[in-house]
Amino acid sequence: MPYDENLILHGVASGGAHLDMDENCVVPVLLAVNATGDKCLDIRKTPVDGLVVSLVLTEDADVDSYTDDSTITIEHSDHLNRGWATLVTFPILHSHIKRIFVEATVAFVVGDIGGALTSQDGDTGILLAYDDELETVGGQGYVYCEMDLATDYFDDAVLNTCNATTGESTIVTQCLVAEDPLIQMQPKIYSIRFSTQKRYIRANTSNCADSQGICWILLTNDAPNSPTPF
């Protein structure tokens, strides 16, 4: 089953124009496409085993706030007007991320994720992920930090990360300047395989922050050859 116009959950207006996925998106309630390019699909005649839904992101996002994160879900129901429940959730689209090479002077733990990352001169952000090597004292690897401001350079020698279980841990950077901000959502293809016994599915894009640019959410039974998402 290839991608075609009947299998687009989001991205194209009724007249064929491509639409942004942004904070104005409205959850669809009909099989007809709504004003923001979203619609419900009736899949009662489609094989339910091994379907794949793909979120295709292009390069024209206009996310200007450093805390603009977006969560896109796929929902299913037996009825168009009620009973919708989350079926799958795409990875959170974080806006601006710094990747910083560090050496752990205190071993990282899972509880550090989601904690505050603060540099000696006051740059702040949220720790999203870290390399496994940093779970050992002396280990070297990358941390991924969601920035708060454009001026969060993280170019000091010492960073602090906090978590609920071990208190404050100290890590020492091995480079003077962190890498440039990574626009994590652009461009990418996220593909999720699923099955459902429900009749209808839809994309819920109403939790977008700012504009993610031209995007498509497509249904197929052939998984594209896409990169593994962070």
- The tens digit of pLDDT for each residue in 194-226 reads 888 899 999 999 988 888 888 889 988 665 544
Residues 49 and 8 in one domain: yes
Residue 129: give its domain's CATH number.
2.40.30
pTM: 0.71
Residue 74: give its domain's CATH number.
2.60.120
- Residue span of the structural domain in which 166 resides: 96-182
Residues 166 and 203 in one domain: no
Residues 1 and 84 in one domain: yes
Sequence-distant contacts of 130-133: CB under 8 A, at least 24 apart: 133/104
Q: What's the average model confidence in pLDDT over 108-137? A: 85
Residues 105 and 162 in one domain: yes
Structurally, the chain folds into a number of domains equal to 2
Identify which has the larger pLDDT, 121 or 43. 43
Residues 84 and 192 in one domain: yes
Q: Is residue 230 part of a domain?
A: no
Q: Is residue 225 part of a domain?
A: no
Report whether pLDDT(68) > 80. Answer: no
At 57, the pLDDT band (50, 70, 90 cuts) reads: confident
Whole-angstrom Cα distance, residue 142 to residue 24?
A: 35
Residues 75 and 151 in one domain: no
Residue 79 carries which side chain, given as an amino acid letter? H
Are 10 and 214 contacting, i.e. CB atoms less than 8 angstroms apart? no
Residues 63 and 115 in one domain: no
Q: Is residue 21 part of a domain?
A: yes
Report whether pLDDT(177) > 60. Answer: no
Task: Dump pLDDT digits (tens) for 154-175.
Answer: 777 777 776 655 555 666 665 4
Are 125 and 147 contacting, i.e. CB atoms less than 8 angstroms apart? yes
Angle at 152 between CA 179 and CA 210, to 5 degrees: 95
Q: Is residue 227 part of a domain?
A: no
